[in-house]
């Protein structure tokens, strides 16, 4: 008898719970997360320094393998504030830039010296130097091109060879 009463009691509770749910709408799903967007670019200071290079690409032409190929990229600050170059790096270890570490005042000139090591690198030169600064152009890319002619093979020393 206890089993029957317990079964009827459980059944009635289930029916009551089911009826309590009727007429209610399920809660709305949570809103989707906001879309992931790229970080907004930093606002450009209209008074910041401005790089004005004489040329942004230098062609060494044809150079022999061995000696370093060097060039000075000249620029002028045509902006209203000083330019401070924070870093300059070549696209590989064979391209080494040197830059001014002091601020370049408005109206003043500066140079980026680029040295390319031709030793063991015959063939086409196509390298870049990336400059980071506080100028309006936060990142600038300079290019060097040219051709390295291979060294002539060492002449065989025939003086010491035995005669036949």
Averaged over successive runs of 10 residues, the pLDDT of the chain (164 residues) comes to 74 67 64 66 80 96 95 96 95 94 96 96 95 93 96 64 56
C-beta of residue 127 within 8 angstroms of C-beta of residue 92: yes
Write down the pTM of the prediction: 0.67
pLDDT in the model for residue 24: 59
pLDDT in the model for residue 74: 97
pLDDT in the model for residue 4: 75
Closest CA to 59 of 140, 119, 148, 120: 148
Q: Which residues contact 50 (CB under 8 A, 6 or more apart)?
A: 77, 78, 79, 83, 135, 136, 137
Q: Tell me: domain 51-149, CATH 2.60.40.10, correct?
A: yes
pLDDT in the model for residue 7: 75
Gap between the Cα atoms of 122 and 101, Å rounded: 33
Closest CA to 63 of 154, 145, 1, 140: 145
Residue given tokens 């080494």 in the structure block: 96
Closest CA to 63 of 33, 94, 38: 94
CB atoms within 10 A of CB 6: 10
pLDDT in the model for residue 139: 93
pLDDT in the model for residue 46: 85
């Amino acid at each position: 008898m206890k089993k029957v009463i317990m079964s009827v009691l459980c059944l009635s509770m289930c029916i009551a719970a089911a009826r309590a749910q009727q007429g209610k709408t399920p809660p709305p799903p949570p809103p989707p997360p906001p879309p992931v967007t790229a970080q907004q670019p930093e606002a450009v200071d209209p008074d910041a320094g401005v790089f004005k290079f004489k040329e942004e690409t230098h062609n060494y032409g044809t150079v022999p393998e061995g000696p370093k190929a060097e060039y000075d990229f000249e620029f002028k600050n045509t902006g209203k504030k000083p330019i401070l170059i924070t870093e300059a790096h070549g696209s590989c270890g064979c391209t080494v830039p040197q830059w001014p570490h002091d601020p370049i005042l408005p109206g003043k000139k500066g140079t980026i010296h680029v040295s390319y090591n031709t030793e063991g690198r015959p063939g086409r030169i196509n390298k870049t130097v990336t400059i980071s600064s506080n100028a309006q152009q936060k990142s600038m890319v300079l290019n060097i091109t040219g051709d390295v002619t291979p060294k002539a093979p060492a002449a065989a020393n025939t003086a010491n060879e035995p005669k036949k």
